């Protein structure tokens, strides 16, 4: 077995979906080993980058697969990759134990559609398994307090990187 600190990070994207009011999309996770309690079950869309896919392509694909949203325009890309480790017991379960955590390129997209486009229960036109049971719009600066604790430092970096973009409207 590879020592935990020698496992690689899974390359992923995170999406800051911003509405016309300067609020960001949050989905309530369906459950799973990451969820520690109901208060910390919220997160922004995120997921793996497929072979040959750019982070921007992955962000649009993941957003659609998790929320059904395709009406977006680009706002900003974080200058750095943000990384987190899963707790070791969880890392040994997730992704067949191949990764210690994720390294994420975060991308902000402006939502240009209407709320009825969002369908977390039948995402991707009903072709993808739901990852969220509910959703809401929230202030970006509140998101670190709503995420599982081991992802909180990444969400603090996301707030720092995108607060000026979200505030500018």
Per DSSP bridges, beta strands 9-18 and 46-48 are antiparallel
pLDDT of residue 94: 78
**pLDDT cut 90: percent of the chain above it:** 78
What's the distance, CA 39 to chain centroid? 17
* Mean pLDDT in residue range 51-77: 97
Render 121-168 in DSSP notation, one character per residue.
SSTGGGTS---EEEEEEE-GGGGGGGS-GGGHHHHHHHHHHHHHHHHH
CB neighbourhood size of 26 (10 A) = 23
Give residue 37's pLDDT band: very low, low, confident or very high (50, 70, 90): low
- Report the C-alpha gap between 15 and 53 in whole angstroms: 15
Q: Is the pLDDT score of 24 beyond 80?
A: yes
Q: Token digits for 42?
A: 């919220």
Q: Quick: pLDDT tens for 142-151.
A: 999 999 999 9
Least confident residue range of 42-46, 68-72, 94-98: 94-98
pLDDT of residue 30: 79
Q: Which of 59, 64, 30, 27 is nearest to 43 (CA)?
A: 27
**pTM more than 0.75:** yes
Ordered by where they begin, the domains of the chain are: 7-168 (3.90.79.10)
pLDDT of residue 95: 77
Spatial neighbors of 112 by CB under 8 A, at least 6 apart, are 71, 72, 73
Q: Quick: pLDDT tens for 90-131.
A: 887 877 889 999 999 999 999 999 999 999 999 999 999 999
């Amino acid at each position: 077995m590879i020592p935990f600190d020698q496992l690689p990070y899974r390359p992923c994207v995170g999406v800051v979906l911003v509405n016309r009011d300067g609020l960001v999309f949050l989905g309530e996770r369906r459950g799973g080993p990451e969820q520690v309690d109901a208060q910390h079950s919220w997160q922004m869309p995120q997921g793996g980058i497929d072979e040959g896919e750019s982070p921007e392509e992955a962000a649009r694909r993941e957003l659609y697969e998790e929320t059904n949203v395709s009406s977006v325009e680009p706002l900003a890309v974080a200058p750095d990759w943000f990384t987190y480790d899963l707790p070791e017991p969880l890392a040994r379960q997730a992704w067949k134990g191949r990764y210690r955590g994720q390294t994420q390129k975060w991308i902000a997209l402006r939502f240009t559609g209407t709320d009825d486009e969002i369908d977390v229960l039948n995402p991707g036109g009903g072709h993808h398994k739901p990852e969220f049971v509910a959703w809401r719009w929230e202030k970006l600066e509140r998101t670190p307090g709503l995420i599982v604790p081991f992802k909180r430092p990444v969400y603090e970096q996301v707030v720092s990187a995108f607060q000026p973009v979200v505030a500018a409207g």
